[in-house]
Structure 1
Amino acid sequence: MKSTEILFFERPFPSANSMIIRDDQSFLVDTGFGSDIVRTEQLLTSAGILPAQLNGIINTHYHSDHVGGNHYFQQQYEIPVAAHLWEGEMVNQCDLESCGAHFLDQPVEQYTVQQLLVDEQQIMTGQSAFQVLHTPGHTLGHIALYEPKQEILICGDLFHYNDVGWLNIFREGTNSIRRSIESLDRLATLSIKKAYPGHGPAIDEPSIMIDKARERLEKWIESPEKMAWHACKRIFSFTLMIKNGLKSREITPYLLSCSWFYDFAVHSFRLKPEEFVQPLLDEMIRSKAAVWHQDILIATAPYEAPNQKWIEEDWKPRNWTK
């Protein structure tokens, strides 16, 4: 009897990793950033799967780097999307908080969720039944997928190799750290041989990475500013990637226009937003998250810059239609 196959694609920013569950029914887990849709299709076809042959898309959560290709696949191939109930309902209602798009200033083309998932639901693929595990923390509707026969976990952004997903206490709740720890504790009870995260390489020793992630989160409880710095650097780095850098004169007005920057400056660092610009820039350079290239601040992590159309468009929930 054949076993279910997991095809894992580690992708450069701004896309998250994508996975194909190949079985009697095949599913694409996370569709990447919207500007990378051509590459996403190539990943499918290189695996011998035509997009029209997919039985569905499953999203671990609703951030732009994970759901950006949903619109295209729905428009072109009418592929249904499955996501956690809480986030799926927000998307379907065109809630302004959907995908964190406005808060983060990240474009997401409109899509709809056909299957609203709940904790411990099973997704049948033929030879396997993937268990939906509600793992809130990074987002309130974050899920992981667990296949017990092969002991495989698709963990999204709950934890990565030697890292964790950034935490958004201003949109996902001040208890995000505790929720993340509880989610990790739940996964720690499972027998997992291999984990596939939303960013970075596949993980061959998941239990070790779960323990490391938990240790890091516990340190953040003691020093909340570390959590805030982690989030600010991740968000701003992603901005630099999708904009392919910012000129020095653009940085201050841009940051002062962002909700995330205001909230972290005022509530996490007790500074006026204009007072937080230079400390953030200093930390980006000190930590080597970004470098100056002549007069342009560039993210250092490998990325593929979106085309000009994606830089100029404003695909966000306020422009979606019911």
Structure 2
Amino acid sequence: MLAPQPVPRLELQAVCRRFGHAIAVDSVSMSVMPGEILAILGASGCGKTTLLRIIAGLEEAGSGSVHIDGRRVSGEGIDVPPESRGVGLMFQDYALFPHMTVLANVCFGLRGMPRPKARAVGLGRLREVGLDHRSNSYPHVLSGGEAQRVALARALAPGPRLLLLDEPFSNLDQETRDRVRTDTIELLRRTDTTAMVVTHDPSEALRIADRIVLMRAGRVVQIGTPEEIYRTPATPFAAAALGDVLALPGNLRGNAVDTPLGRIPIDCPTAARKVWVWLRPEAIRIGPSGSGTPARVLQSDFDGARRRLQLAVDGLEASLVLSVPAGDAAALGDRIGLTLDAAEPCLVTDAD
């Protein structure tokens, strides 16, 4: 007998939202499993925040449905209020109340709980984020990182079934962002919290998420693990969204594509035609002159541990840009050889 499948913590079915003639969210369907951290990745205006607000009940969907733990909370005439959905929301600006102490801020969502118990829960959440010593402070004396952690403690205090975080690290400097992000994700995993994190930073999505939902113009482009989307993108847009990508012109013949850098085998033979091959820079190996396709170094820029090379290659109209370890770099004007690693995945699209 097969074991029963777990119920998704969150399930969206064809959710749409219009503002006048503009479509903010366009038929979005997805699910989030218990304990999963899902990143919603996309540029500003792609519908990420609107989607979070619909899930939280702060925005009404025009059509489609939202289910939390198998219970419909939106759609088909049902609209459960935000406070009854079991959803926590952490805003980009943290939205701490300036006239309340840190502890009072954290306990704000526990007003239906007896005061001694609420205080104990609030102090426990502050202890989890390392700020119980700040319980009597006010928000104006907190650093950016401290304010973020207070906002996280407040969002977690009611024990939400699902936590929604809207660009939670974007207001922090780089050093603080890295530290606070690591601590936040560690806390979410330690408490087995199901979370959706909105971000426009691909490196952040790759680092924190079990799965990524890539959005563009209100629609879902691709859903998958960070490695799946990075290594096997569904479209050129998806490839570019997750990191550097190179586009090589090619001629498809049988079960291989001939490119200016060499032949690339593909999974199944198709009719001959002109195509584009999209691949990651790590698929290209640099060697001495004569070891592969000839290339000449047009520019070599130092970037700490790596060096950015701009290369001229016969058959390519535009120069090829590669980031390589500083120790492997060639000097301006050098001749080198380029080879393709056929084991690296690529995306092939028609040239039309």
Instruction: Please say whether Structure 1 and Structure 2 have the same fold, judged by a TM-score greater than 0.5.
Output: no
Structure with greater helix share of residues: 1
TM-score of the superposition, structure 1-length normalised?
Answer: 0.31
TM-score of the superposition, structure 2-length normalised?
Answer: 0.29
Higher radius of gyration, 1 or 2: 2
Structure with greater strand share of residues: 2
